[in-house]
Chain A
Amino acid sequence: MSDEEDDIILSELDDEELVQQMFDDLYDGLKDEIMEAVNILLERGWAPYRVLTEALVGGMTIVGNDFRDGILFVPEVLLAANAMKGGMSILKPLLAETGAPRMGSMVIGTVKGDIHDIGKNLVAMMMEGAGFEVVDLGINNAVDAYLGAMAEHKPDILGMSALLTTTMPYMKVVIDTMKEQGIRDDYIVLVGGAPLNEEFGKAIGADAYCRDAAVAVETAKKFIARKHNQMAAG
């Protein structure tokens, strides 16, 4: 960070400048600065949902785009996500209190035999940022864990993640079990993870493969809108 940036007093910036600065600070993974700026915007009367969407999600969208385009790499994305997480920790309780719009709900987890959760955590965070209620089952989930969570939380979406070639076939086990139990079509099933691809997603009977967290959010929104349209038509 340059000396010039060191001198920036966040509270002295107007709203537009502050949001722009938050984009920069998210990009640089500056968690403390993001938390400070979130509090400033809230003190200025911004609704929590507006802080979330305009400042945090807006900033993370830039990070996501630059990751997709090969300008940013995983370490920088993780730092940005960590900064956003700091902001989210302030906003999350307030969002529930203030009745922020709710896009839908999702149960998400890494499959059995797999302990990798970086991608899954990013998706969960970005889904929350987009207004989804997310139940995160963590890592190493057997089919019963997914089925139990779906029965309990009745989500719109089931998300499954895997990083390993050896564990990704387990997604099919979960989907096949859902079919056997006649509940497959009750849920939108999204899958993701480094070794997956669109063909694999189709082959196992998922609704979509999502390349990254940004794509997961857009895909989820698309399927939710389609679901609402079908309900309205039906």
Chain B
Amino acid sequence: MSRMTIPEPDNLSDANLTAQGLRPAGNGRVLLLACGALAREILALVRLNGWDHMDLACLPAILHNHPEKITDAVRAAVDSHRANYARICVVYADCGTGGLLQAACDEMGVEMVPGPHCYAFFDGLAEFESRGEVTSFYLTDFLSRQFDAFVWRPLGLDRHPQLLEMYFGNYEKLVYLAQTDDPDLTARAEAQAARLGLAFERRFTGYGDLARVLEGWALQGTQGAPATRALQKP
């Protein structure tokens, strides 16, 4: 397999985060290994809180559409970065891996974000569960910006609009979980709801439980589950 060209840490274009991910800056002893769709939010939290001991590497965000590939990709990334950090934390929730990512993280001795997916941890795990929204389709800031690349085109709706009912016929509402106050993104999300034939709701979440999880890891410093635990196995 040929090696991908990974953008530099300051290259945070959505296109790069979608297709290639993000290479770590090489600073800090704790590596956050995240989905590219979370890069901007994580870097904002790191800067805001002065977590200089935390570095960030991202896998391509488009793995969101291929959850069957996430576990192996995380496993490979943990292996490749392990020697350079005292500790690695995986900023993925289950994300459709059906428990396989949690099992892999347990085996590798690294922590990951609890819950089913980023919608839940932005909304707040307890709140998300208590809402019991069965017929809602979710977007985040990233997914609202990248709606065509992550939803419209992969589902073939650009080529076969007649499939819309098959995909979204059972949904009632598009919920835009907003991390930031951005009128342009809100307008985009509302337009996307209209394209899907769904009602629209904007719900401001900020960084939700993501901020709390990262803060917990930041406070543990290098003292949490060591990145090298798996290497200590016989």
Chain A positions within 8 Å of B, measured between CB atoms, are 29, 73-76, 78-79, 82, 113-118, 139-140, 164-166, 168, 194-197, 200
- B159 part of interface (Cβ distance < 8 Å): yes
Tell me whether B166 and A78 are in contact (CB under 8 A).
Answer: yes
A114 touches B134 (CB 8 A): yes
Question: A213 to nearest B CB, angstroms?
Answer: 15
C-alpha spacing A118/B169, complex, angstroms? 10
> What's the dominant secondary structure at chain A's contact region?
loop
Q: Is the CB of A194 within 8 A of B166?
A: no
Query: B interface, how many residues as a size bin?
Result: 20 to 34
B116 at the interface (CB under 8 A from A): yes
A118–B166 touching, CB < 8 Å: yes
Provide the residues of chain A in CB contact with B135, threshold 8 Å: 115
Q: Is the CB of B159 within 8 A of A194?
A: no
Q: Which residue of B lies closest to A110 (CB)?
A: B170
Q: Give Cα distance in the complex from A115 to B97, angstroms.
A: 19
Interface flag for B132 (CB, 8 Å): yes
**Nearest Cβ on chain A to B155's Cβ, whole angstroms:** 6
Q: Is B156 an interface residue (CB 8 A)?
A: yes
Is the CB–CB distance between A115 and B170 below 8 Å?
yes
Q: Is B195 an interface position by the 8 A CB rule?
A: no
Query: Using Cβ atoms and an 8 Å threshold, which residues of chain B touch A200?
Result: 98-99
Is the beta-carbon distance between B156 and A196 smaller than 8 angstroms?
Answer: no
Given contacts A115-B171, A139-B170, contact A165 B98 (CB under 8 A): yes
The answer to whether residues A168 and B98 also contact, given A114-B134, A115-B134, A116-B170 and a CB cut-off of 8 A, is yes
Min CB–CB distance A222 → chain B (angstroms) = 24
State in angstroms the CA–CA spacing of A67 and B68 once bound together.
15
Interface centre among A76, A79, A82, A195, by most chain B C-beta atoms within 10 angstroms, is A195
Which residue in chain A gives the minimum CB-CB distance to B155? Answer: A75
Write the B60-100 contact mask toward A (1 if CB under 8 angstroms, else 0).
Answer: 00000001100000000000000000000000001011111
A199 to chain B, nearest CB (A): 9
B155 touches A164 (CB 8 A): no
Which B residues lie at the A interface, using CB under 8 A? Answer: 67-68, 94, 96-100, 116-117, 132, 134-135, 155-157, 159-160, 162-163, 166-167, 170-171
Once bound together, how far apart are the Cα atoms of A29 and B159, in whole Å?
13
Does A166 contact B116, Cβ atoms closer than 8 Å?
A: yes
Q: Which residue of B lies closest to A118 (CB)?
A: B166
Residue of A nearest to B101 (CB): A165
Contact of B134 among A113, A165, A194 (CB under 8 A): A113
Q: What are 12 A-B pairs at a CB distance below 8 A?
A: A74-B156, A75-B155, A78-B163, A82-B166, A114-B134, A115-B134, A118-B166, A118-B167, A165-B97, A165-B98, A165-B117, A194-B68
Distance in angstroms between the alpha carbons of A160 and B155 in the assembled complex: 24
> Contacts of A75 on B, CB cut-off 8 Å?
155-157, 159-160, 163
Q: Which chain B residues lie closer than 8 Å to A197 at the CB level? A: 98, 100
A195 and B96: CB pair below 8 A?
A: yes
Point out the residues of chain A lying under 8 angstroms from B117, CB to CB: 165
Nearest residue in A to B97 (C-beta to C-beta)?
A195
For B98, B100, B156, B167, the residue with the greatest tally of chain A CB atoms inside 10 Å of its CB is B98
- Judge whether B100 and A73 touch: CB under 8 Å: no
Note all chain A residues with C-beta closer than 8 A to B100.
Answer: 197
